[in-house]
Amino acid sequence: MHSMDEEVLQHGTARTALAVPPREEGFWVSAKNIERLSRVASRSDRGEQVNVLIRGPKGCGKTTLARDFAARWSRPFYEVHCGAFVDAEQWFGKDRLNQGETWYRKARFIHATETPSCVILLDEINRAHPEVLNAVLGLLDWRRSLWSDDLTYEVRVAAGVVFFATLNEGEEFFGVNPLDAAVRDRFPRTVRLDYPPKREEAAILQSHGLSSPMAHKLTEFAHTLRKASRPVPVSTRQLMVAAEEICEGASLREAVETAIIFGTEDIALEKTALQALQWVEDEPFVAGPDNS
């Protein structure tokens, strides 16, 4: 590699400075999970490299949790959407054309891997193409390094780097890959997330401007569906959208239709959701913390 190439490599690195993300306002994490994550942070502080799998149902805060970890412990953060990588070389960099000449620009992922204490999120790892993921397995196991033909050097994971991977539960029903055994083995720590308890979920909605009675009606609706004999997965994200609709002047029914019911493709689930909606609309007691 000649010196101009290196300059471009350096330049590419400088342009992609990794930042500590801001705290997620109002993001709720259980006390147990805070403890779990603080143990991860302690290991990372001692220079260990830690891999953590975050699993849970859709829209329960998996992606946000990884970002929030970086924010809480003031770490630079980098996120890869695994499903978007179609070929293994994307991990390392790509050729760029500049004034008729081709330059190789190192990928941000490599830059993040080489940044001490960086938090790297491999988001929706079960959507990764297996052959694409195989190319970086060496970074995730005891080797913590791999030779890159593209970069022509041995990439090493910096001290204290934390890899998070998220896994959406239930996606196997929609034809998304189950988690590969090789990947599972490389993530020996797991944080299992679920939707926040009723009281906390109502508080989240209120912190976004929703009135207390409406917040309690929405969370009651969601919890009824989640514990139905054939559960309807209503996510915290969907409740937030319903709350936004109500804040824009929609009725409870309109908001729930827009955020949850009209997007449901399963007629039986839609029917269950409509029944639960009818119930919270009619039930005057579903409106305060004492009844939640």
Ligand X SMILES: Nc1ncnc2c1ncn2[C@@H]1O[C@H](COP(=O)(O)OP(=O)(O)OP(=O)(O)O)[C@@H](O)[C@H]1O
Nearer to Mg ion by Cβ, of 63 and 292: the residue is 63
Q: Are 195 and 236 within 8 A, CB to CB?
A: yes
Sign of CA dihedral 270, 54, 62, 155: negative
Q: Are 26 and 208 in contact (CB under 8 A)?
A: yes
Which value, to the nearest 10 degrees, does the dihedral of the CA atoms of residues 233, 237, 239, 245 take?
A: -130
Q: How many chain residues interact with ligand X (CB under 6 A)? A: 18
Q: Tell me how far, at minimum, the Cβ of 66 lies from ligand X, in Å.
A: 8
First to last CA, the chain: 65
Smallest separation (angstroms) from Mg ion to the CB of 276: 25
Task: Write phi, then psi, for 26 (nearest 5 degrees).
Answer: 75, 15
CA 254 from chain center: how many Å? 28
Between 224 and 243, how does the x/- string for binding to ligand X read (CB under 6 A)?
------------xx--x---
Binding to ligand X by CB under 6 A, coded x per residue (else -) over 65-104, reads ----------------------------------------
Contact region for ligand X (CB under 6 A) — 21-29, 110-118, 131-139, 152-160? 21-29
Q: Please, which residue, 62 or 108, has the CB nearer to Mg ion?
A: 62
Q: What is the DSSP string of 4-32?
A: HHHHHHHHHHHHT---PPPP-TT----HH
Contacting ligand X (CB under 6 A), which of 135, 204, 222, 225? 204
Per-residue contact flags (x/-) with ligand X for residues 183 to 202, judged by CB under 6 A? -------------x------
Task: Name the DSSP class of 279.
Answer: H
Locate 175 and state its tokens: 């034809």
Other C-beta atoms lying within 10 Å of the C-beta of residue 79: 19
Per CB under 6 A, 27 contacts ligand X: yes
Of residues 43-102, those binding Mg ion (CB under 5 A): 62-63
* # of chain residues touching Mg ion (CB under 5 A): 2
Q: Could you say which of 62, 72, 106, 111 contacts ligand X (CB under 6 A)?
A: 62
- Reference 5, options 137, 114, 150, 186; nearest CA is 150
User: Using the rule CB under 6 A, which residue among 113, 115, 168, 272 binds ligand X?
Assistant: 168
Chain residues binding ligand X by CB under 6 A are 26-28, 56, 58-64, 166, 168, 196, 204, 236-237, 240
Chain residues binding Mg ion by CB under 5 A are 62-63
